[in-house]
Amino acid sequence: MNCIIIDDELTSRIILNQHCSGVSDLDVIEEFSNAIQAMKFLNANEIDLIFLDIHMPDFSGFDFIQTLKNPPKVILTTSDKGLALDAFEYDCIVDYLVKPILFPRFEKAVEKARSFSQRDNSKAEANNSGSKSTVTTNEFYVNIDRTLIKIDTDTVNVIEAKGDYIFIKTTAKEYKVHTTLKKIVDKLPPNVFLQVHRSYIINLSRIVDIEDNSILIDKDVIPISRSKRPELMRRLNLV
């Protein structure tokens, strides 16, 4: 992957450069102390990843992203712990690193950027070939009280929408998240999950049984919409 670093502070750029040199397939193409220079560069060059400081004179990192038509993957770097929630508004932001940035955390963020890029490429390939995409990561993150919690999709039984929240019921616990089913459905592997009702997405592999218009998953009885039933039946390995 090739990347650029945007940060008005030399100390931060030196640290990021050093960390980048510790990742074999990550090349720093250019570094910038201000956002305007970086914009000009991005108009003429294609890159995979930006390490972007949020606090810069004249331009915030978020303002910068909004100026880009097709932003590459972005890893935010900041001394502020309180802006993670804002980062969720942008699809291109894959991680959020709080300074001082230590290498293990940096490496994890790069790995995440890599897997997001691979997922995007696979989706694009699947779309290009006209087939339905079945590729997504096996995990997703939810923001609960400003903490990003990783959820393994394999552990999810049911996701239920209630008002402004969704309830993600996993084998271990239940998470209440302020979002919509529509937003989370894209994060789930479509070959495993199916929306069976306006308010429910289920993990097909967790079905215990199906009776009339309801599905039993663990101890939950999930209603099936009439309109969703044909798709559910098609997806079952029916004898």
Minimum gap (Å) between residue 222 Cβ and another protein? 46
Choice from 29, 48, 55, 228 touching another protein (CB under 8 A): 55
Judged by CB under 8 A, which of 9, 86, 107, 154 binds another protein? 9
Span interacting with another protein, options 8-16, 34-42, 184-192, 218-226, rule CB under 8 A: 8-16
Of the ranges 2-10, 62-70, 130-138, 187-195, which one interacts with another protein (CB under 8 A)? 2-10
The window from 5-13, 84-92, 121-129, 144-152 that contacts another protein (CB under 8 A) reads 5-13
CA distance 115 to 137: 8
As a whole number of angstroms, the distance between CA 81 and CA 48 comes to 25
Q: Hunting for tokens 């950027």 — which residue is that?
A: 113
Does residue 108 interact with another protein by CB under 8 A?
no
Q: Rounded CA gap, 209 and 236, in Å? A: 11
Measured between alpha carbons, how far is 209 from 216 in angstroms, rounded to an integer?
A: 5
- Say how many residues make up the chain: 239
Give Cα 190 distance to the centre of its chain.
15
For the chain, the first-to-last Cα distance in angstroms comes to 47
| Cβ neighbours, 10 Å, residue 154 | 14
Least distance between another protein and beta carbon 109 (Å): 15
Binding test (CB under 8 A) with another protein, winner from 22, 85, 127, 178: 22
- Among 63, 103, 108, 233, interactor with another protein by CB under 8 A: 103
The smaller minimum CB distance to another protein, of residues 16 and 49, is found at 16
Q: Which residues bind another protein (CB under 8 A)?
A: 8-12, 14-15, 18-19, 22, 55, 57, 79-80, 99-103
